[in-house]
Structure 1
Amino acid sequence: MGIFCNRRPRGYHHVMIYSDERKERLKALEERAMRELGMSRPDVADRDRLRGVFAGSTGHLRRIKEREGRKNNIVLIVLIAAMLLLMHWLITGDLFM
């Protein structure tokens, strides 16, 4: 019965066709030498410096971030109003003024 005994599909293994093993070995050698000398990798500093720059430079991402801030303010205002209404009801016993 083939319905209850499904075979798992064969796994996917991707082999790079156009890779330069010499370049990879040289890069690994350079990184190891920089680690031994105590120098930091230059791309780590670039990542920290560029973090958030892309989101600020595009208009649609900047607008999304602005909307998130406004949404949080609106939720806070509604929450405060609900708490004030609840306090008024608890003190006076009357829901409306």
Structure 2
Amino acid sequence: MKVMLSSITWQQYLLAVTALALIYYISVLFLYYRQDLIGVFNRKSIKQPAAESQGTPSIMGEAKKEAYGTPVSQQEIQFADPSPELTDYSPVN
């Protein structure tokens, strides 16, 4: 066992582990993201103008006003009548 551990150096070990990890990640990228990678490499270098320079709205668009009603204050919100056992904050023994 001792001969096997001393037959390779740390540099050789780290190089082999790095190469295997690189091969693994490249294969996973190719298997799961093949269409995305093909799209990236087939993209034409068409220069698109900036959205702000033409006066068009941004990608998310403009903010809309709230259509669900008017806001209420904290005092107007009431879930249940407070009962004495729920408002008693004395320590429990």
Note whether the superposition's TM-score is higher than 0.5. no
Computing the radius of gyration from Cα coordinates, the structure with the larger value is 2
